[in-house]
Amino acid sequence: MEATEIRKLAALEDTHWWYRERRVLLARALRRLAAAGHVPGRALDVGAAGGGNTRVLRAHGWQPVALEYSAEGAGVARERGLDVIRADARHLPLPSASLGLVTAFDILEHFDEDHLAAAEIRRTLRPGGVALIAVPADMALWSAHDVAVGHVRRYDRASLRAVVEKAGLVVDELWSWNVLLRPVAAWRRRRSTGSDLDELNPLVNLGLRAVVTAERHLPVRALPGVSLMLRAHRPATD
């Protein structure tokens, strides 16, 4: 992602409906991990940009490091008081089996060699450690937005599962997100000429947030959405 897009994301992520809800979903996943007995420890937020998700990890007791390739994103994360590493997700500068949790939201789709990034996630996780991954869904939604933010592909369930399992991780859950607004996204993407990372009218932002919030309580996770989300773990006997 270009530096201008990183700065734009950092400016928007505290208020924009998309990023706010993604942080809510991450927080929910962390609470479920805690309820299942996962004790917070060292964590890595791959492709952290300005560190919005890294701050969620820290708020839930984890000891996170924000990993960001771009100087711009790393700079924003440091300005926010976060521990930051600048590195490529395909070559993580961390010891094997050193992490209890890795988050990688909207990262794999930026690499031709997405399997290398997935393999590095598996390598750095300790046995029993958890990966939380999100990717854009469905090549039918491909648009100028994807080009502008540096995507190589969008995923379906089979292709996402395949790259994660090839890396040696066990998929625990795979679901769709942003299902209710998929028709709106498809309409907008057909008319898109660039990135969708724009500041919205506050009323529009509030309305979209209300719709995506309602999705938490509806049985729609098996339906096609704009994103796919996945929870996996490194086998404890590995």
Give the whole-angstrom CA distance, residue 177 versus residue 220. 8
Separation CA 228–CA 194 (nearest Å): 22
pLDDT digits (tens, 9 = 90+) for 27-83: 999 999 999 999 999 999 999 988 999 999 999 999 999 999 888 888 888 988 999
C-alpha gyration radius of the chain: 17
pTM, 2 dp? 0.92
Domain boundaries of the chain, sorted by first residue: 3-233
Strand-pair category, 63-67 with 84-85: parallel
First-to-last C-alpha distance (Å) of the chain: 34
pLDDT at 162 exceeding the cut of 90: yes
What gap in Å lies between CA 204 and CA 197, rounded to an integer? 14
The predicted pLDDT at position 197 comes to 64
**Could you say which architecture CATH assigns to the domain 3-233?**
3-Layer(aba) Sandwich (3.40)
What residues does 104 pair with on adjacent strands? Answer: 46, 133
Q: Give the span between the Cα atoms of 199 and 203, in whole angstroms.
A: 12
